[in-house]
Amino acid sequence: DPSSLSRYEFKSAVLAATGRKLSSADLQHVLGGPVPSDTRLTAEQLMRVIQAVLAARAPEAHLRAVYQAFDVHAELDVSHTGRVSCEVFMAALKGRLA
């Protein structure tokens, strides 16, 4: 089936969507059984795995990932060191999202 993915393509898609490298044990756990290397996986299975990975992340872990992805300057640098702590960044971001 041309719309299905190889196990390698599937794991690569999960990595691209979530930033998390999926182990074979993780894949087996979410899909409920062994996944042979020659198995073709569906888009439905991909969405189920991506949702499970994202749901398993703590909300603070997501904010940490956002923090690491951006170069934060000026207004959050309350200590004037040229650096912004993750805690200050998360508090500011939570305040703006609330």
pLDDT number for residue 26: 86
Top pLDDT among 21 and 68 is at 21
Q: Is this prediction's pTM over 0.85? A: no
User: Does the structure show a pLDDT above 80 at 1?
Assistant: no
pLDDT number for residue 67: 67
Taking only the tens place, the pLDDT of each residue in 23-73 is: 888 888 888 999 898 989 999 999 989 888 888 877 777 667 666 665 555
How much is the average pLDDT of 87-98? Answer: 72
d(Cα 3, Cα 10) in Å, to the nearest integer?
Answer: 12
pLDDT number for residue 79: 80
Q: Which range, 49-58, 72-81, 82-91, has the best average confidence (pLDDT)?
A: 49-58
